[in-house]
Chain A
């Protein structure tokens, strides 16, 4: 199924959770934050949120900035 991750359409397995996706992309869960369908998704909720087709996901982190 397809979801939109950081503005790009990507193919992911059915039934994948946010926690699974973060692990799959080898991202450090301690430093990224996730917005799920425009709502901030608490870290504790990541394993419980199963992705569905068409979901919008933003994975963000802090970078240098002025």
Chain B
């Protein structure tokens, strides 16, 4: 069955986005990308340390993937916009994940600055995927600002704690017409399946795969979980029935006319 996810005019067949941070070695990345089936791969922009030049991450991402730089390090909208432009100049195309964080304890995003950055970058023609705390009013404003998707966190970044924000994310899925991509916090394939089952458009996973004992095998496990969850969502799962026929019926007065 054809069930593409369309973002920024691109048709994606994979609903698992992969982050490339925290891998023990860049050499693990190609295998993990392949096993995950990911078509959208996130990267970050950093200062070069001239004394310890690193390898170019782009060489480890299989060709054909959409490279989506994040704006990590940005503390406000202005910095996020600046980083996004640099990312595009670095050859990443026009996708960008806005990530604006001033909170060093929990690494929670600044929704207000994120809306401002989204507005500016969308107007410049970027395909903007903002990373936010799940909040309906914020998501509505992001949609108005021209975001291509909304990426609520399931739990704080890197916490592997799963869908702690489940009820809020469910509301976004129900109310927002943009794709809702759960980003951050997903630590287990079962949690990815859970997000997909409730109607998330995709999930973005990094830490759980990068820091697994066998990242390639874990990438495959996530791919299977995302597919299972999506298929379950599409197949219309049976609902838990709470409303049986009562002993004192409310409709007993109706006669067939």
A and B are interacting partners: yes
Closest chain A residue, CB of each to CB of B209? A66
Q: Are B56 and A66 in contact (CB under 8 A)?
A: no
- CB contacts under 8 Å to A, within B19-66, are 19-23, 26, 29, 42-50, 53-54, 56-58
How far is B204's CA from A33's CA once the two chains are assembled, in angstroms?
Answer: 27
Main DSSP-derived SS at the B contact region: mixed
Q: Are B54 and A61 in contact (CB under 8 A)?
A: yes
Q: Are A64 and B90 in contact (CB under 8 A)?
A: no
Interface size on A, residues (CB 8 A): 22
Interface size on B, residues (CB 8 A): 38
Closest chain B CB from A5 CB (angstroms): 7
Contacts of B19 in A (CB 8 A): 64-66
Q: Are A65 and B48 in contact (CB under 8 A)?
A: no
How far is B22's CA from A38's CA once the two chains are assembled, in angstroms?
Answer: 29
How far is B148's CA from A20's CA once the two chains are assembled, in angstroms?
Answer: 40
Q: Are A60 and B22 in contact (CB under 8 A)?
A: no
Contacts of A59 in B (CB 8 A): 47-48, 50
Contacts of A5 in B (CB 8 A): 50
Query: Given A35-B86, A62-B43, A65-B43 in contact, is the A27-B48 Cβ separation under 8 Å?
Result: yes
Contact of B42 among A6, A25, A66 (CB under 8 A): A66
A-B contact count (CB 8 A): 96
Q: Are A27 and B50 in contact (CB under 8 A)?
A: yes
Closest chain B CB from A48 CB (angstroms): 17
Contact of B53 among A26, A58, A60 (CB under 8 A): A26
B207 within 8 A of A: yes
B70 within 8 A of A: yes
Contact of A62 among B49, B85, B90, B206 (CB under 8 A): B90
**Which 5 A-B residue pairings sit nearest by Cβ, starting from the closest?**
A65-B44, A66-B19, A66-B206, A64-B20, A25-B50
Name A's B-contacting residues (CB within 8 A): 5-7, 25-28, 31-33, 35, 38, 40, 58-66
Name B's A-contacting residues (CB within 8 A): 19-23, 26, 29, 42-50, 53-54, 56-58, 67, 69-70, 72, 82, 85-87, 89-90, 92, 157, 184, 204, 206-207, 210
A-B contact pairs, 14 of them (CB 8 A): A6-B49, A6-B50, A25-B50, A40-B85, A61-B48, A61-B90, A62-B44, A62-B92, A63-B46, A64-B23, A64-B43, A64-B57, A65-B20, A66-B206
